[in-house]
Amino acid sequence: MNTIATTAIGHARRHAGFVAILAALAGLMFGLDVGVISGAQQFIQREFAISDRTLENVVSSMMVGAAVGAALAAWLSMHFGRKRSLVFSGSLFVIGSLICAAAWSPEALIGARFVLGLAIGIAAFTAPLYLAEIAPPDRRGAMISTYQLMITIGIFVAFLSDTGFSYIEGWRWMLGIIALPGALFLLGVMGLPESPRWLVLKQRHADADAVLQKLRGDPAAVRDEVAEITEQLRTPQQGWRLFLQNRNFRRSVALGIALQVVQQLTGINVVMYYAPRIFADMGYATSAQMWFTAIVGLTNVLATFIAIGFVDKIGRKPILYAGFVVMAIGLGIVGWLMYMGMGTQVERLLAVAMLLLFVVGFAFSAGPLVWTLCSEIQPLKGRDFGIGVSTVTNWVSNAIVGATFLTLLNGFGHARTFWLYAAFNAVFLLFTWALIPETRGVTLEQIERKLMAGERLRNIGA
Ligand code: BGC
């Protein structure tokens, strides 16, 4: 190959890398949004003098917005394109963050967090779709894991920034500062090319060629890819009709729903949203609460690498078993320590360590793997629908967990609340054994064939 062609390809690879970074920024914002509320709560509660019940609404209105956003996202990104959906989401993100910072009443805050949620729901559906459509085929897996990792990094950064602003009790700063990465994201996505796949879908073949030429740099590769996309689009998406007509597809949709409910009922977001409160209830003062929360965030990031390293080597099911065992043990011991009342420093530190153990268990298993499995089990014709339904389920169950934790603590008691979640994790071992297929090293076509032939769900993989 001559030097000019090589330079063009090198240039194109860098361009594709830049595109991926921008779309992964969507993951970062997802994480910032999840993380930011935990440190702000106590100051919000004090300033507006609101009950735990109202505080739960402040926390969970974001997830309700995200559920609505995710439900709208498939339609938006189909009609207006992936790029315009991302631009719309970026704008909502900036507006929502600024109104949060300026909120004059608890109701205004609840409304602004709903808007923020819409932004995240749309981005959380559209960005992975865009990434998968634009990534060079040999780097697709890596790009999607990057997106996962970005979520945990976003949570961690939000925890750190909350810790910094906690010294001036600056909850408005905590909530407002994330407009900055939001604005960067918005500027970035405005410069993105439209997804070539969507362009082909809309019969804009010349535009698709031009975008791919810029991304890949090699005319032969562009021709192959356009041919492949055109071939794939011969299988039109017909999710809803398939859902009504085909029992086997209903089974995979149901499995996607169950997987997401399970992920949320592990209790992970109890920790992500309420960690400082949990540390307060263990007897720690404000600055220790905030720093421990930052450590929770860092642990969550680091343990995600374990999943990335092992998921294609030892498989999904062994990792899930290990994760549920670790989570059940961690939460079980936290509950037990809460029950005994933590009299000594050692017991209090042990409680922190066990909460961290729980986070490790989640981050190397159910966190990334549920998203992976959800995208693997749906047949091609119903993939958009199936993934859309499971994503909405993620946010709905996320909202329920967020909206009930303080009520549970107050009504049911600390120990029993943690035991409840520990028990869920123990039950999920059974769920894993009975229903989850092992999808490692199996092509999506093989999974689809077995599913549609009526094999039991646990057997549709290897
Ligand atoms: C979950 C989120 C959670 C995050 C924590 C994701 O996989 O879907 O609800 O906040 O992990 O890292």
Please state the CATH superfamily assignment of the domain spanning residues 1-192 in this structure: MFS general substrate transporter like domains (1.20.1250.20)
Query: 265 and 426 in contact (C-beta within 8 Å)?
Result: no
Q: Number of C-alpha atoms within 13 angstroms, CB side, residue 216?
A: 23
**CB-based pocket (< 6 A), ligand 1:** 34, 151-152, 155, 263, 268-269, 272, 300, 367, 394, 398
pLDDT bin (cut points 50, 70, 90) of residue 309 is confident
The amino acid at 165:
F
Model confidence at 78: pLDDT above 60? yes
Q: In the prediction, which pLDDT does 312 show?
A: 79
Q: Which of 151, 266, 373, 400 to mutate to test the pocket of ligand 1 (most atoms within 8 A of CB)?
A: 151
pLDDT bin (cut points 50, 70, 90) of residue 8 is low
Q: In the prediction, which pLDDT does 142 show?
A: 57
Sequence-ordered list of residues with C-beta below 8 angstroms from that of 429, at least 6 positions apart, any chain: 321, 324, 325, 328
The amino acid at 281:
D
Query: 304 and 362 in contact (C-beta within 8 Å)?
Result: no
Q: Which of 147, 272, 369, 375 to mutate to test the pocket of ligand 1 (most atoms within 8 A of CB)?
A: 272
> Has this prediction a pTM greater than 0.95?
no
Could you identify the atom of ligand 1 that is nearest to the CA of residue 272? 10
Question: Which class for 54: exposed (0-12), middle (13-18), buried (19 or more C-beta within 10 A)?
Answer: middle
Could you identify the atom of ligand 1 that is nearest to the CA of residue 371? 7
CA distances from residue 79 to 67, 202, 339 in whole angstroms, order as listed: 19, 9, 54
pLDDT bin (cut points 50, 70, 90) of residue 295 is very high
Could you identify the atom of ligand 1 that is nearest to the CA of residue 363? 12
Model confidence at 14: pLDDT above 70? no
CA distances from residue 105 to 48, 50, 101 in whole angstroms, order as listed: 7, 10, 11
Q: In the prediction, which pLDDT does 112 show?
A: 96
Distance CA 41, CA 43 (A): 5
Under DSSP, is residue 283 helix (H, G, I), strand (E, B) or coil? coil
Distance CA 118, CA 94 (A): 12
* pLDDT, mean over the chain: 89
Helical residues (DSSP H) of 315-376, grouped into ranges? 316-340, 345-363, 366-376
Q: In the prediction, which pLDDT does 11 show?
A: 64
pLDDT bin (cut points 50, 70, 90) of residue 1 is very low
Model confidence at 274: pLDDT above 70? yes
Query: For residue 360, what are its two tokens?
Result: 């490790």
Residue 107 CA to ligand 1 center (angstroms) comes to 26
pLDDT bin (cut points 50, 70, 90) of residue 44 is very high
Distance CA 13, CA 215 (A): 7
| Least confident segment among 62-76, 187-201, 447-461 | 187-201
Distance CA 81, CA 79 (A): 6
Distance CA 389, CA 381 (A): 14
Residue 145 CA to ligand 1 center (angstroms) comes to 13
Interval 395-435: pLDDT, tens: 999 999 999 999 999 999 999 999 999 999 999 999 999 99
> Same CATH fold, 239-462 and 1-192?
yes
Q: Where are the domains of the chain?
A: 1-192, 239-462
Q: Number of C-alpha atoms within 13 angstroms, CB side, residue 301?
A: 20
Could you identify the atom of ligand 1 that is nearest to the CA of residue 398? 9
Q: What distance lies between CA 187 and its chain's CA centroid?
A: 23
Q: What is the phi/psi pair of residue 235, to 5°?
A: -95, 90
CA distances from residue 98 to 8, 93, 173 in whole angstroms, order as listed: 41, 9, 10
Q: Which of 268, 305, 372 to mutate to test the pocket of ligand 1 (most atoms within 8 A of CB)?
A: 268
Under DSSP, is residue 256 helix (H, G, I), strand (E, B) or coil? helix
Distance CA 59, CA 54 (A): 9
pLDDT bin (cut points 50, 70, 90) of residue 343 is confident
* Fold that domain 239-462 belongs to in CATH: Growth Hormone; Chain: A; (1.20.1250)
The pairs formed by 77-80 with CB atoms below 8 angstroms and a separation of 24 or more are 77/125, 77/126, 77/129, 77/198
